[in-house]
Amino acid sequence: MDSLAVIAGFGVGAIVGMTGIGGGSLMTPLLLSVFKLNPAVAIGTDLWFAAITKMSGSVAHHRHGNVDYGITGRLLAGSIPASIATIGLMHFTGITKGWASALTFALGIALLLTAVTVAYRQAWTAVGLRLERHVTDARRPALTVAAGAVLGVLVSLSSIGAGAIGATLILLLYPRIEARRVVGTDIAHAVPLTLVAGIGHATLGHVNWELLVALLFGSIPGIWFGAQLTRRMPDALVRALLCVALVTAGLKVVN
């Protein structure tokens, strides 16, 4: 087993344990820069990494009643068809240099968007409350499906978006929802979405299974370690460091 992959899995797992986000945002750049995978394989491998690591979190949030299945269902109604359509288009057109460029550019934009959502996470609720005059109860279901569709395309193209960006969209559309239910609903939506997108990429041969096992082997203890460490580190410091890492990786990928 690749010791470097185990260490990388542990490091990303620790960050996820400390912040609750950052898995896909940090794993894909690592797969590109450290393990030298091509963009498509990096994205496919990360999708499986995200789906498997978040399964236990989804079960835990379900047991604690932290999942709003109405919101989850509406998000999935948009994200799953969008993901399947995106993967289908990749099958139909074939993986060319043009697609590789599109995947890389989507990854960079997703990293920068994630950095913004992390940096201003506390402000999104206030923005959502101001939008309530426009986001009425009658419009909210359709807007939720549309938000899911956006996430489906973004996650399928970049493996990023189901975490921080997904939570931000939930806050914008449902600003009065409890924070714990935002997290639980976001994770419950992320698992099937990343799994469907991961299966799609696997059919295209975009998964390095051996590397994936090594990453998971390190991530499980890493998540536990990060959860313990977060009690001793200021939240603002953790998020600031994560934002710097995301912006640096995003700018490097885009350029």
pLDDT of residue 28: 84
The average pLDDT across 184-201 equals 92
pLDDT of residue 253: 64
Its domain, for residue 50, covers 3-254
Please state, in angstroms and rounded to a whole number, the distance separating the CA atoms of residues 126 and 130: 6
- Taking phi first (over 0 means left), then psi (-120 to 50 degrees means alpha), and beta for anything else, what does residue 236 get? alpha
Decide if pLDDT at 203 tops 90: yes
Decide if pLDDT at 210 tops 90: yes
Decide if pLDDT at 71 tops 80: yes
Mean pLDDT of all residues in the chain?
84
- What is the count of structural domains for the chain? 1
Decide if pLDDT at 1 tops 80: no
Over the stretch 122-160, which tens digit does the pLDDT of each residue have? 788 788 888 888 888 889 999 999 999 999 998 998 888
Q: What is the DSSP letter of 96?
A: -
Structure pTM?
0.84
Decide if pLDDT at 47 tops 80: yes
